[in-house]
Amino acid sequence: MYFPRGIVAQAAEANAKAHRFNATVGMAYENGIPMGLPIVSSLVPALSTAESVAYSPTSGVPALRELWLAQMKEKNPSLKNTPTSLPAVVPGLTAGITVTADLFAEPGDTLLLPDLFWGNYRLIFEERRRTSLAEFPFFDQGGAFNREAFSGALDAGVAHGKVMVILNFPNNPAGYSPTRDDADFIVAALRDAADRAPVLVISDDAYFGLFFDPASSTESLFARLADLHENLLAVKVDGATKEDFVWGFRVGFVTFAWKGMTKSQVTALEQKYMGAIRSSVSSSSTLSQNMLLHMYKDPLYQDQKARAFAVLRNRFDRLQEILREKEASGRAPALEALPCNSGYFMSFRCIGISAEDLRTLLLERGVGTISVKDTYLRVAFAGIDVEQLRDLYAEIFSGAEALAERA
């Protein structure tokens, strides 16, 4: 993969030097300004036509990339003095993971991941890249991150001569993030693996920042891995999607780091990544990027984001009340709530009943949930008003009890 010396690269040179006439890129201009329709300008009056309808660079709007990196280091204090690549913009986290897979995952490779994972990983790695998925149990018998299973999975990867792992915290579908001690263990285990084989670690930080339990590790694993080992490439895939409640903006970021990285190496990797973006999605939405840029600079941003977080935190707290009450009642033998401390979701393990049967039954009652592997039922509590949570879970418990009686 490479970034071609074609239209985009030549147009970038022209933007810097063609002060008389610029007849390179396929855009229409009038008096040196992109020709946006007035109706578009009326919809986004705070933005210029250049900020709303023009193409953005392949790797994203430079000012947004710089600002995202600064925010990333502010959110992850241990990353402050660690060199990284400048985040590249992609149209959502899915694109970020896909383009990363295009660069590093080959047919016949194996990707290590917990058995509770976002289903799109299967499409991206297994179907598109023909990479095998090696699942390890996410939780141990005590409901904590399964250290023994994770270590065993890394050993198996080392035996194949190449380790690729993707970790998604807070996890989808479980809504769980490791404790600080567990994070220490994960980092130490990855350092040991890197002593023995090349290691690629993708941190899928889609729900980063949505931590509700003070015992959770609140830094991205990327911050701990970025300067861990010369043989370990850390990749952070994150974005505004969930962090800033702009799901349809489709703006994600991809950042690389490894111990001992040099400027020339970073440039080479960035050129390859830009080539992968150019050959798949071309570039990301200019409008979304500039709306984010304006939002981040607005003095109201932090307060409004804190209010939105408080709404989700209130729902999480009510969820915990409901689960504690149900456990005390002892009347839900068919459902076991998995540990949940962060993110948008929680999940039940279905015992003696089919998760798909439960999902279907609930759907007939007007309740939408997600079944995973016919064993787990995922509930997006973040999408339900706090006043409605008791009614939602009453339906879930009632449906599970009805199925258990039939079994």
**Domains along the sequence of the chain with CATH:** 1-53 (no CATH), 56-297 (3.40.640.10), 302-406 (3.90.1150.10)
The C-alpha atoms of residue 348 and residue 273 are separated, in whole angstroms, by 38
Whether residue 96 contacts residue 239, with contact meaning beta carbons closer than 8 Å, is answered with: yes
Strand, helix or coil for residue 331: coil
Task: State yes or no: cis peptide before 178, omega within 30 of 0.
Answer: no
From CA 109, how far away is CA 289, in angstroms rounded? 34
Pairing label, strands 33-34, 110-114: unpaired
The neighbouring-strand residues paired with 139 are: 145
DSSP string, 87-123: PEEESSHHHHHHHHHHHH--TT-EEEEESS--THHII
pLDDT tens series, the chain, 407 aa:
888 888 888 888 887 887 788 788 788 888 888 989 999 999 999 999 999 999 999 999 999 999 999 999 999 999 989 999 999 999 999 999 999 999 999 999 999 999 999 999 999 999 999 999 999 999 999 999 999 999 999 999 999 999 999 999 999 999 999 999 999 999 999 999 999 999 999 999 999 999 999 999 999 999 999 999 999 999 999 999 999 999 999 999 999 999 999 999 999 999 999 999 999 999 999 999 999 999 999 999 999 999 999 999 999 999 999 999 998 887 767 999 999 999 999 999 999 999 999 999 999 999 999 999 999 999 999 999 999 999 999 999 999 999 999 87
pTM to 2 decimal places:
0.94
